[in-house]
Structure 1
């Protein structure tokens, strides 16, 4: 994602100097992350001098296709004159007999690749002879077998190249692009025999080569050539070859296995080696997470889970399943948001398996994740109970292993859940413990595990907000800036967006809407680039809040409403009362105090349902302000403000 985000910035920067052409070929094969990037690119380039050309098969139906700035050009079939031109080019400028040329045009139906391949099939048949500027047929037309489909034509050409056909089949199992060294390791053919076969395939223009053997890389001319060679293998033979490829990658090509574990996983999957495949899908997902490709990571973990449940019941199977469920939960947090039901399901399954196995390390991760999910979805009492269980497990594991990360993550969950319960003093104690334990070099890896963000950044962000709530706004700004600086060291997307939003909130608490808007905009940019729906919704609420403070009430209210709707769509409820309070105040500023009071009722209901007193003083104060706008009577107004002061004293807020 960082590479794609950088590419977007390069395109935008280049377009400020001159018109830019961007070409994306074969978009029907792109991965989910690249598809999201392409959609974002289309939307961002609508006002720039950029021509984006995307080629794809008809089944590619992106959402952005309906945008007004997008035109779709459906490529038609070749006219007969164009097909004839291709035939003559393949034939070296010579004409084919008219009846054979007509038969080729009829069979190929204007498909360029088919015209080219069928012409080569006819030329390779040895039933034509050169005669000056043309070819002549040796016998009558019925004696010349002209395949009726492209696949038949390609297969006929491969059949004539035996034994090079077997080399093409093995290569097709590797993929459309393959390395000479890997093919040699899998085929078992001697160097001379292999090179002869590859040379034949090159001369037949079925393969293209880059570089010199044994470091050469080969590419099948077209995906259909690769598919035809692959489909000509029996299923049992395919499985044997895929098993050899996976084994060779693992044993002899560590560079590929390390950087492309999904390739090894796919070969083991097709080979039917389920346990090995599941293990490599786990590795593939873990690597994708380190690159913030969380949707791909979740897909990899999902493939592993689909496989592992087909294994016979055993402790080894349960351990594989446990690792995959825990990892799935972490990936889905960033891809869909903490409140998504699938995230909770993943961690709940992991907790169940860890308890069955008596695996306290995995149980810690599962309980940590489930507590976070229940916090975000507003089930704070259950979340708090799990967080305290996490602390007990963390102390035991830290003592046994000497790894302080367990205690750091236990405190991490406790400062979060207590903050949203309104227990600011308790939350502050745990945040202080987190800052004391955190060591960048030792603990930075935690950003890619557990709940998917850096605990060092998080404890400073929460501490900053608590300092503001408790009447120390200057220290709050300082703490929040430290969080941003720490997040920028690794540019971990979730951690960075959280730190930027926390700084935005701190400025908004200080009634500094200009700075609040600046940091909310930065967070929106990160959340958009890395497709983080929950955090994007939160950032839009803060952005709208800042706009309202700058006098842009209409747009500010629209942004807040859209942000709140986006948050709710992820299943999250954490902080919702505060967001509704900010929206209620903005409505009051616009002269819609009754609407504001209705929103506050929703906010109070949210607190009651979750058992929280988070920002209760703010809600009561906002109620007093709105009642005063409606002139509802001094007793009611004064009562709200008195309740606000009492709640603030109880929480230690100012």
Structure 2
């Protein structure tokens, strides 16, 4: 039998002082003592389904979680340890009487990854767990006090809250490199469920996605308060939130008079009669393990006083049930076992009925799938008599429980379903303390947790504790690779337990796990070594056990694991050597027999070859998978695929072949990085710079052009405009030398865009129009996949801006309309969202806030769907501007600030001075003049730093307007800045900005009585415009000019006020 990998809880028990004891005792007596000690340990270990692996002299090595896993193996180990320690007094009484000695035990417990396999020569093999865990457990027991129990931090994380522990500090253990925190277990706590622990530790969160069920429970309670009985069942798989829903009802009733009775079935006590009732009564009477029998009886009498169970013929039944001696105060029962059981059931049922007659009562019976037969009888009795009482009986269980209810007892069934993705995100954010997690991590969490609230919480905690995230400005960012999420230790046992229950077919589950979350009958048949008939039967058993879900019938059936984490658990239980063999077989079968899968899912081949250790084949398929993902605009997936290829390639020694492969991968990586990280992200320049270096090494001039485009985009968006312009000129030289029209389209586009931001509008227009003339959609359509943009769409968008600045507002709108039409035809999200952004910006320049709002919201929606962080941030900025200009000043300015900060967080600086100038102008309308002065100062600094000149005229004009509102000592007169604005606009031939600057200057002069100068300043530029008459700037300028001509100063001032407010 092959070995397997497992997370195991290991217990090591050691007899303290055994050397001195053996010196004191005769060997035969020592043998008897040792045997009594071992039997005592074995009894406690086996009671909690532990497995004794070895008796090592005076030591006992035990495993919890092998050969059969349970969902709480760490708790079982600690329970067993406490039982061993707690039973030492009784054992010592016997040893003292028989042998004249007493002994003590030390226990250490640790949880960790092991490989379980056969050890030893043929014929003398033992099946043992290999790894660090057994050694750590053995070291830990040495730190325990006599009759003491010590656990590692790993185990403590699984039992925290269920036991009272003392932190014993951090200790260096022999053979371990890293010191370990250790805990001493004192006793069991009152907590019986994860929910109890969460409440006790203050980790209790708001219920999510259960509004319908909460409403139904409250409605049932209302019927109880009206005098009617109600029976409600809550069913759902483990971790779905049944107990949390019960707690929600309990919270709702906290301010109402009622009696709450809660019985909890336990996996430990499925064969212990009436254990849920016993455990409840012990809690009700506050019985302690070390209470004397007399004290226990006194407490029980006090707890049951004035109830039917306190009657002289009833209390002995309850005392007997709780194993409390009562004969000194009550007569003996003298009943047959069957009669005593029946009377006990009648007394408990009568007690519940009496309580319900006095006040509204809720009886909760949790986890019926673990109920013992006698408790099942009691429940049936209660259900039959429930109609006579005002009682709500609430029953919870997992789907595998198939209970039957009395026909006279109507039942309201509630089945809990999995959370929707948006509800999963709410849980994640709560666990993360309200902070946002990176989108890539959220996608993994949604995929892995399948909407199971417990899975969501534990997986989120695992991510937060992984060390791969750093906190920044109220959100988390990835600081290290988080390629895949492992199974949280808190869930590992429960997942393995489900697999272990089907030990004989686990190998089929493991093979399925190799194939993925979903696999076809055809594929598993092709790769399996089993006879098809046997395989079919075993697959059906997995479906019946609800580990797999089947769609369709063989041979066309598709199987999928019910939970992604079940697949992970099955996969991770395989030995690494066995994994490699199976991965290689699957990859070979796919290539030979499934060519269509190879073509459409190259990432599947890449994954299997990676698992098989066939790195060369894996790299080729990772590249192919990345390129295919780029073609589908699946940019995040493309980055992941290509990055995996690069990681594998780095394990190869340097060679020309490796260099060539790396160049292919780096060039392919650039495009999806541009879209997911933003054009100005450091990863972008690192990728393209490395690719350029590789080109130089290889003397490759063919691939250098797309690399230079990528670098141009980076420097351009970083607003390193002179560097970007230089790269554009280099591109043009290469394109002209090659005589390639496609390259010329890109080169003219790049130079034109750089010149636009430098404020050189007419040369920019010439290059952009040349790019448009050369662009042929049919010939150049593939560019969008290679460069993250289509040059035709890109050029039309930039040309629209240039035309607006030059004063051709209607032509600008037409170019943007053409760009949108072309982007829609191309059906590539990156081009479409670029057009939406430019449409938002153009409507802002035209002074159309309502249109800007609509466009920016659409821009944000598409960007969020596609993971375009840069475009989302800019959409947020423009939405803020629109809201502020529609009267929602506070919210609008806040969004503008947040959008600008998010935009710059991508590394982008392009248009920074423009955004700051808009913020400053918005402050004019809100009256926050001091903040406006701050923004305009920042804008001036940014413009100077980046040689960013395209919005310089507006910067000067807004500065003058702010000074009109509030002067600053030592600052020049507003007139100076308005004149500067006019002068710069004229130099740039920016007619639209000249009109705005001339309007401000004219208004100022008119307010100072310089009517002639005011008219002259505005008349010439206003008369120039032949289009764009419907834009706000042109309309208001002409209205202002008319008012000045008529000498209507008041109207002029109103027009001025209108412009400032709008």
CA shift for structure 1 position 111: 11
Q: Does 1:546 align with 2:887?
A: no
1:297 aligns with 2:633: no
Partner Cα separation in structure 1 for residue 934 and residue 569 of structure 2 = 65
Residue 468 of structure 2: aligned partner? none
1:345 equivalent in structure 2: 686
What is the alpha-carbon distance in structure 2 between the residues aligned to residue 169 and residue 70 of structure 1? 33
User: Structure 2 residue aligned with 1:530, among 861, 866, 870?
Assistant: 866
CA contact (8 A) 1:480 1:503 kept: yes
Matched residue of 2:973: which SS?
helix
Tell whether 2:645 aligns with 1:308: no
Q: TM-score, normalised by structure 1?
A: 0.72
- Partner of residue 707, structure 2: 366
* Contact 2:772–2:792, Cα closer than 8 Å, also in 1: yes
Q: 1:301 to 1:631 in 2, by over 3 A?
A: same
Report if the CA contact (8 A) 2:265-2:371 is conserved. no
Per mean C-alpha deviation after superposition, the further-off stretch among 507-516 and 477-486 is 507-516
Q: Quick one: which of 266, 274, 280 aligns to 2:607?
A: 266
Q: Is the 8 A contact 1:261 1:283 kept in 2?
A: yes
The yes-or-no answer on 1:653 pairing with 2:990 is yes
Question: Paired residues, what number?
Answer: 531
What is the alpha-carbon distance in structure 2 between the residues aligned to residue 568 and residue 634 of structure 1?
Answer: 30
Once the two structures are superposed, residues 541-582 of structure 1 have per-residue CA deviations (whole angstroms, 9 ceiling, x without a partner) of: 222333343344333322222221111222211001111111
1-structure distance, mates of 2:208, 2:579: 46
Match of 2:591 in 1: 250
Using the TM superposition, give the Cα deviation of residue 628 of structure 1 relative to its aligned residue in structure 2, in angstroms. 2.3
Higher Cα Rg: structure 1 or 2? 2
Quick check: 1:180 aligned with 2:516?
no
CA distance in 2, matches of 1:177, 1:459: 44
Q: Is the 8 A contact 1:155 1:229 kept in 2?
A: no
- The alignment status of 1:430 with 2:796, answered yes or no, reads no
Q: Which residue of 1 aligns with 2:805?
A: 469
Inter-CA distance 584–179: structure 2 relative to 1 (3 Å threshold): same
TM-score (norm 2): 0.46
Once residues 435 and 585 of structure 1 are traced to their aligned partners in structure 2, the CA distance between those partners, rounded to angstroms, is 34
Preserved contact between residue 275 and residue 311 of structure 1 (Cα < 8 Å): no
Structure 1 segments unaligned to the other structure (5+ residues): 1-57, 59-64, 86-94, 102-109, 117-147
Once the two structures are superposed, residues 297-344 of structure 1 have per-residue CA deviations (whole angstroms, 9 ceiling, x without a partner) of 222222111111111212221122222222322212211211221222
* Residue number among 961, 966, 980 corresponding to 1:643 in the alignment: 980
Aligned position for 2:540: 202
Residues 345-365 of structure 1: per-residue CA shift (max 9 Å, x gap): 121112211221222232222
After superposition, the Cα gap between the structure-2 partners of 1:74 and 1:550, relative to the gap in structure 1 and judged at 3 Å, is closer
Superposition map of 1:19-418 within 5 A:
74-75=241-242, 80=265, 151=496, 154=499, 157-159=502-504, 170-187=511-528, 193-203=531-541, 205=544, 210-219=551-560, 230=571, 233-397=574-738, 399=739, 404-418=741-755
> Aligned pair in 2 of structure 1 residues 592, 361: CA closer, same or farther (>3 Å)?
same
- For 2:758, the equivalent position in structure 1 comes to 421
Alpha carbons of structure 1 residues 409 and 243: separation in structure 2 relative to 1, 3 Å: farther
Q: Is 2:968 the partner of 1:627?
A: no
Is the aligned partner of 1:503 residue 2:839?
yes
Of residues 385-394 and 573-582 in structure 1, the stretch that sits farther from structure 2 once superposed is 385-394
Q: Matched residue of 1:361: which SS? A: coil
CA RMSD of aligned residues (A): 3.7
Instruction: Please give the alpha-carbon distance, in whole angstroms, between the structure 1 residues aligned to 2:625 and 2:538.
Output: 36
Q: Distance in 2 between matches of 1:351 and 1:311?
A: 21
Larger RCO (CA within 8 A; separation ≥ 6): 1
User: In the superposition, relative to structure 1, how do residues 113 and 302 fare at CA in structure 2: closer, same or farther (>3 Å)?
Assistant: farther
1:494-544 CA deviation, whole Å, 9 max, x = no partner? 322221222232233222333233322322222233232221222222223
Measured in 1, the distance between the counterparts of 2:872 and 2:563 equals: 41
Q: Deviations over 1:126-178 (max 9, x none)?
A: xxxxxxxxxxxxxxxxxxxxxx997588568544x6xxx76665444223532
Deviations 1:452-487 (A, max 9, x none): 222222111111111110111111111111112222
Tell me how far 1:79 sits from its aligned partner. Answer: 5.2
Q: Flag the 1:96–1:572 CA change in 2: closer, same or farther, 3 A.
A: closer
**CA, structure 1 residues 317+538, in 2 after alignment: closer, same or farther (shift >3 Å)?**
same
Query: Contact between 1:167 and 1:198, CA under 8 Å: does it hold in 2?
Result: no
Residues 481 and 209 of structure 1: CA distance in aligned 2, closer, same or farther (over 3 Å): closer
User: What is residue 443 of structure 1 aligned with on the other side?
Assistant: 780
Q: Aligned equivalents of 2:719 and 2:834: distance in 1?
A: 19
- Specify the alignment match of 1:567 in structure 2: 903
> Whole-Å Cα distance in 1 between the matches of residues 580 and 397 of structure 2?
33
CA–CA separation in structure 1 for the residues paired with 2:858 and 2:849? 14
Measured in 1, the distance between the counterparts of 2:872 and 2:666 equals 26
Between the aligned partners of 1:232 and 1:628, the Cα distance in structure 2 is 74
> Are the equivalent residues in 2 in contact too, given 1:617–1:648 (CA < 8 A)?
yes
Deviations 1:360-392 (A, max 9, x none): 232222211111111111211222222222223
Partner of 2:915, secondary structure, is helix
Q: Equivalent residue of 2:519, what SS?
A: strand
For 2:832 and 2:266, the matched residues in 1 are separated by 59
| Counterparts of 1:229 and 1:69, CA distance in 2 | 30
- Distance (whole Å) between structure 2 residues aligned to residue 230 and residue 472 of structure 1: 64
